[in-house]
Amino acid sequence: MIIIASQNGYVGIEAAMDILKQGGSAVDAVEAGIRCVEANADDHSVGYGGYPNLLGQVELDAALMNGRDLTSGAVGALQGYKHPISVARQVMEKLPHVFLVGKGAARFAAEMGHSSCDLLTGPAREVWEQRLRVDMAALDLTRLTEFPDLWRWVEIATDPEHAAGTTNFIAQDMEGNICAGVSTSGWAWKYPGRLGDSPIVGAGLYADNRYGAATCTGTGEMAIRASTAHSIVFYMKMGLSLTEAGQRAMTDLNDLGGRYISRMNFIVLDREGNHAGFSSSEGGTYIYMTGIMDTPEEKSRLCVPVKERWERG
């Protein structure tokens, strides 16, 4: 039994481990752990209290994947519901679909009995307003929805300092089943409707009991283009060690062209319960907890540099 998570998973990893100890499944544990992060208003990258899009609307993305049978559920650009990970699980369990977005996802959340709420907290609104006012000083932010050329503002408002976040959880239960889950409010001040890697199977997450699982945080556009989470698991399937697989998938990102290449991080668990974290920048950590530990421990991520470039238009 083991759970690994991104650093912001501290608030949920013990609750998740309690579930595994009581004989719960890896899917139960991942959902429970992520729900704690989604409810944490101080975490501005996930769930309630997350930073909004350019229009000031909080849009949430989440997904989980069950490595036992490769089933998966995801929601994207979901507004008004605090626990996208639970809605994603219900997509997996109740529908013949894998992925719902926008209004359809919100409708389904309501049908599943989730109560709606305003996800934009005062502190998150303040940071959004302050950031936009740097470049839009004279503009009335309440009229942004009427802008015919909102797209022109997205690069200006994209804020690498507030862009990072997202929570990753991977659990392996008593039966050896592995589940991977991800939840995020995405890039701060993103263009409305933008989806990152987090809810996309193969990009932000992948789990297969036979080999292991991987989940990502960082610039989602890169993980989408390189199918990063799937690549890591695929490299393990091809016989690479966990460390080699992570290094290779990170190095692959250097082959991506385009104007926006930035940070990437992932955590990886193999089927034997070995784990590691990787980051394209120095100093990153992740946390893990096994069934015999009383508290989680923090571990450094292996730094595999990616050549960053960020060219504003």
The catalytic residues are 166
- Examine residue 187 and tell whether it contacts ligand ASP (CB under 6 A): yes
Interaction of residue 197 with ligand ASP, rule CB under 6 A: yes
Q: How far is the CB of 299 from ligand ASP (least distance, A)?
A: 19
Q: How far is the CB of 29 from ligand ASP (least distance, A)?
A: 21
8 binds ligand ASP (CB under 6 A): no
d(CA 250, CA 244): 10
Tell the smallest beta-carbon distance from residue 134 to ligand ASP (Å).
Answer: 21
* Residue pointed to by tokens 């659990």: 171
Binding residue for ligand ASP, selected from 8, 72, 79, 198, defined by CB under 6 A? 198
Give yes or no for residue 192 binding ligand ASP (CB under 6 A): no
Of the pair 197, 252, the CB lying nearest ligand ASP is at 197
* 164 contributes a contact to ligand ASP by CB under 6 A: yes
Is residue 80 at the binding interface for ligand ASP, with CB under 6 A as the rule?
A: no
- For ligand ASP, the closer CB: 171 or 224: 224
The C-alpha atoms of residue 169 and residue 185 are separated, in whole angstroms, by 16
Of 31 and 197, the one with the shorter C-beta distance to ligand ASP is 197
Taking CB under 6 A as the criterion, the residue among 8, 90, 184, 231 binding ligand ASP is 184
User: Judged by CB under 6 A, does residue 43 bind ligand ASP?
Assistant: no
Is 110 a binding residue for ligand ASP by CB under 6 A? The answer is no
# chain residues binding ligand ASP, by CB under 6 A? 13
Q: DSSP assignment of the chain, as one string?
A: -EEEEEGGGHHHHHHHHHHHHTT--HHHHHHHHHHHHHH-TT-TTSSTT----TTS---EEEEEEETTTTEEEEEEEE-S-S-HHHHHHHHHHHSS-SEEEHHHHHHHHHHTTPPP-----HHHHHHHHHHHHHH-TTS-GGGGGG-TTTHHHHHHH--HHHH---EEEEEE-TT--EEEEEEE--STTPPTT---STTSBTTTEEEETTTEEEEEEE-HHHHHHHTHHHHHHHHHHTT--HHHHHHHHHHHGGG--SSEE--EEEEEEETTS-EEEEESSTT-EEEEEETT-SS-EEEEPEE-----EE---
Q: Which residues, numbered 206-225, are part of the site for ligand ASP (CB under 6 A)?
A: 217-218, 220
277 binds ligand ASP (CB under 6 A): no
As measured in angstroms, the least distance from the Cβ of 108 to ligand ASP is: 21
Q: By CB under 6 A, is residue 166 in contact with ligand ASP? A: yes
Q: Which residues bind ligand ASP (CB under 6 A)?
A: 163-166, 184, 186-187, 196-198, 217-218, 220
